[in-house]
Each structure stands twice: as structure tokens, then as C-alpha cells.
Amino acid sequence: MPGTYIPSEYLPVLIFIIIATAFGFGALIIGTVFRLKKPYYEKLLPYESGIDPKGEPRTRFAVRFYIIAMLFVVFDVEAIFIYPWAIVFDKIGIFAFIEMVLFIVILLVGYIYAWKKEAFQWD
């Protein structure tokens, strides 16, 4: 439970998020007053080079996209560990450097494995 701390420097961010969202919704809602609206069957068809759409639009796709997403999560976490290291680098010095070399080398093993297994290869 939050004790005595209020993150007041984030108040502008909150207000900005509200204003930006309101701007988007507002523009769309006000526009409905002026816009003409004449829908008919052909207009509402999804675009498919002028012919009638065939089959399921949300098709199955290559598993490679999924691997990229998995690797992205791993490398994202890795990057998150590097940021605070970069900030405190001055304070800790050579010790921190050796730690990070070890960290990155271990991850490079995985990276090379992924490369060898052609995870980055799009045919």
C-alpha cells in the first residue's frame, strides 16, 4: 500500500495521455456531424484488388514471426538489465564491466545458436 509518496512529476504525463486520447476521440466524434455517410455493399467490402474477398482474411502465418516475438522478449529483458548497469557504470567500474562481459557472452551463446538454427533466416 502506498505510504507517503505521491509521484507528482508524473502528473503532466497523465494529463498528456488524457488530452492525447481526448484529441483522437474528439476529432472522430466531431467529424461525424460534418461527414457524409452513404454506405453500400460494394463500398464496405474489404479491399482485395477489386474482386470479391475469398476465404478467411485472418490466415495462418509463418511460425517465424512467433520465433521473432519470442527472441524479442528475451532480448528486451536483456536490454532492461543493461540499462541500470550503464547508469551505475561510473560508480562500480571494472567489476561491473567484467560482470557485463560474462552476461553478454552467455547470451551470445544463445544468439549464435539461434543464428545457426536459421532463426533469423527468411526464405
Partner 1 sequence: MIQQLFFIYFAFAITGLSLLVVTRKNPVHSVLWMLLLFFHIASLYLFLNAEFMAAIQVIVYAGGILVLFLFVVLLMNIREELRIGKYIGAGPTGFTFAAALLVVVFMSLRSFVAAPPGIYSIDLIKKETHTMVLGKLMYTEFLYPFEITSLILLVAIIGAIVLAKRRLKT
Partner 2 sequence: MDINNIISPQLLDAFIKFGINVLVIILKIVVVLAIGLLHVAYATYFERKVIGHMQVRLGPMRVGPHGLLQPFADGLKLFFKEDIVPANADKVVFYIAPIIFMAASMVNLSVIPFSYGFTIADFTISPVIADINIGLLFIFAMAGMGVYGIFISGWASNSKYAFLGGLRSAAQVISYEIAMGLSLVGVMIMAGSLNLTDIVRAQEESVFGMFAIPQIVGFIIFTIAAVAETNRTPFDMPEAESELVAGYFTEYSGFRFALFFLGEYIAMIIMASMATICFLGGWTLPWYITQVVPFINYVPGIVWFLMKVYACIFFYYWIRATLPRYRYDQVMGIGWKILIPVALANILITGLVKIIMTMYGA
Q: CA-CA distance, 9 to 3, in Å (whole number)?
A: 17
Residue 15 within binding range of partner 1, rule CB under 8 A: no
Looking at 18-26, 33-41, 42-50, 54-62, which segment touches partner 1 (CB under 8 A)? Answer: 54-62
Q: CA-CA distance, 10 to 3, in Å (whole number)?
A: 17
Residue 29 binds which of partner 1, partner 2, none (CB < 5-8 A, kind-dependent): none
Residue 61 within binding range of partner 1, rule CB under 8 A: yes
Amino acid at 113: Y
Closer by beta carbon to partner 1, 33 or else 121: 121
What long-range pairs does 46-51 form, CB within 8 A, spacing at least 24?
none
Cα Dmax for the chain: 70
Q: Are 63 and 119 in contact (CB under 8 A)?
A: no
Closer by beta carbon to partner 2, 2 or else 42: 42
Q: Are 98 and 83 in contact (CB under 8 A)?
A: no
Closer by beta carbon to partner 1, 30 or else 68: 68
Residues near partner 1 (CB under 8 A): 1-7, 10, 56, 58-61, 63-67, 69-74, 76-78, 80-81, 83-85, 87-88, 91-92, 95-96, 99, 102-103, 106-107, 109-111, 113-114, 117-119
